[in-house]
Amino acid sequence: MNTQTHIRPGWPEIIVGLIGIAIVGIGGAILVSRLPLDPVTIGLIFTAMSGIGGLAGFFIAYFLRIREWSAFGIRATSWRWVLIGVGAGVLTFIAKGLSILVYTALTGDNTNVQQVYAEGGSGGMVSLVLATLFLSVLTPLGEEFLFRGVVTSALLRYGPFVGVVGGALIFALFHGINPVFPAALVTGLVAGEIFRRSGSIWPAVVVHGVVNLPTVPVLVLASMAA
């Protein structure tokens, strides 16, 4: 990456960013789950919370001390890298599914922790579109800005392996130890490497968006077939 070391985010940005997503994203989700709302509304809010929490964490880190977009990889990219992001996203979607199958076979854990997303998209065409947009646009923006733009950028000072793998592990752990963990790990590894090689956050956002795009429709169809 072209970002100079002295303006690269560091541990202070990582810490405040992760605290930010924990408070806004996780804390907000817990609060919403206790409100007297219908399942579709709660599901829609949940599909938006990861993106909102990620953006909150990112902006807390951004305003901490650096305040330079390029230090977090937010810079223009080429159409070539966008297309690479699309292709990598398709391959990652396949690898994600395989990783979940392996995880389930090894652990016996087949908990559907994303059922709330299916509920968010089950209220008709409008809710299906909104839930899909939240999960495939807002979530990739928020999570990539934080976990690649802040966390991976900071860890890359220790080399490519620590930067990409460390960022992916932290990203996956924030999804919990469940069937989503291996999927998040695979996505984080690919998005992190694409981010490192391109020097821009946008190809990583594309990877993440392509991976998430089918999630809500697939979950809704599975719920209807059950």
CA 27 to chain centroid: 17
- pLDDT tens sequence across 156-180: 999 999 999 999 999 999 999 999 9
Torsion sign across C-alpha atoms 25, 26, 27, 31: positive
What is residue 7's predicted lDDT score, i.e. its pLDDT?
81
Q: Over 80: is that where the pLDDT of 4 sits?
A: no
pLDDT range class, residue 93, cuts 50, 70, 90: very high
CA distances from residue 12 to 7, 31, 116, 219 in whole angstroms, order as listed: 13, 27, 33, 38
Percent of the chain with pLDDT over 90: 89
Phi/psi at 174 (5° precision): -70, -10
Torsion sign across C-alpha atoms 168, 171, 177, 182: negative
Domain coverage including residue 114: 5-225
pLDDT range class, residue 6, cuts 50, 70, 90: low
Q: Quote the CA–CA distance of 58 and 121 in Å, as a whole number.
A: 27
Q: How many alpha carbons lie under 13 Å from residue 119 in its C-beta half-sphere?
A: 15
Round the average pLDDT of the chain to a whole number and report it.
94
Q: Quote the CA–CA distance of 195 and 144 in Å, as a whole number.
A: 9
Structure tokens at 15: 């810490």
Domain total in the chain: 1
Q: Quote the CA–CA distance of 87 and 187 in Å, as a whole number.
A: 13
Identify the H or E element spanning 215: helix 215-225
What is residue 128's predicted lDDT score, i.e. its pLDDT?
96
Q: What is the mean pLDDT of residues 209-221?
A: 95
